[in-house]
Amino acid sequence: MTLPAFRLERPARLADAVRILVAHGPEAMIIAGGTDVVPNLQMKLFSPRVVVDLKPLRELAGIEFTPASGLRIGAMTTLTAIMQSSLVRSKFPVLASAVGTIAGPLQRNMGTLGGNLCLETRCRWYNQSQFWRNALGGCLKLEGDVCHVAPAGKFCWAAWSGDAAPALLALDAEIEITGPAGARRMPLGDFYTNDGMSRIALARGEMVTAIHVPPRMAGRRGVYHKLRIRNSIDYPLAGVAVTMDADAQGVCREARVAVSAVNPAPLLVKEAGELLTGRRPSAELMEEIAHAAISTGKPLTTSASTPVYRREMLKLFTRRALEELWQNGRA
């Protein structure tokens, strides 16, 4: 498959990148590691006039931590670098655990955190070649007007299918965005629109430059469970990230649960945090949290596995993650 025709820009400085993005608006597309963008371009899911390669911007790569300001990871940091960072592994295990499940080793060597947070939403009716989509007559997201997942509606259910974002939501992270007006930060949850058509909230000329995790999360226990067919390569069919801080008696002080790959956005399960705070583990509580997870996570027929099964696994993985964290906490 050929690539569509575009001009490749390789800005040497961040300001240049922003200027190019401002100039071309929606006709510009950013490429970081390229593991999502290149196959999508080959499938002609996009036809950008300009592709902006961020690889020359070395200042966007790096992992920093101070007890006062917390963790900062630059957008161009590779997934392998995060997974192998002893700092991330020891202080933010949920992130290392999630990043380690992304695709396979080759993709993690190329793929970046920023790219992973900006993945295009995925759907079995959408991530197909131009020939395949033409034969179908397109879908609501592209070249057509029917959603094949929910034909009656006018909403795109393409699933947000990343692994790093739920972990970062569970770490209460903020995303740093740089644009013509400089850098700004917002809660990661606000970055995602939960609309399969336009998944992230970036204004003209803006790009993701870093992720910040607050200092209180350093050392926070956490785990990520991913549903997939293969133990490598596959995108998640469902994902659950949980972090928890509990006292010596097993009373939960703070917990956060986030789900992925079952909605057009990675979502924090808000009730879970409320339900867990101040409580000890019990079968009833686990059941409540599991139900909260599936009232937030609503899988549809966007991927190979059935919604029924993915819902079941969302519940199970939530319960397993909680049990694991409580058990480890006691030990």
Considering only 25, 62, 104, 278, the residue that binds other proteins (CB under 8 A) is: 104
Pair 297, 263: CB distance under 8 Å: yes
Considering only 47, 66, 198, 232, the residue that binds other proteins (CB under 8 A) is: 232
Of 106 and 251, CB closest to other proteins: 106
Considering only 203, 233, 280, 287, the residue that binds other proteins (CB under 8 A) is: 233
Near other proteins in 6-35, by CB under 8 A: none
Of 24 and 226, CB closest to other proteins: 226
Stretch binding other proteins (CB under 8 A), from 126-134, 174-182, 210-218, 246-254: 126-134
| Residue 234 binds other proteins (CB under 8 A) | yes
Residue 15's identity, in one-letter code, is A
Of 33 and 189, CB closest to other proteins: 33
Stretch binding other proteins (CB under 8 A), from 134-142, 178-186, 243-251, 279-287: 134-142
Of 227 and 255, CB closest to other proteins: 227
Q: Which residues bind other proteins (CB under 8 A)?
A: 1-2, 5, 104, 124, 128-129, 131-132, 134-136, 229-235, 304-306, 309, 312-313, 316
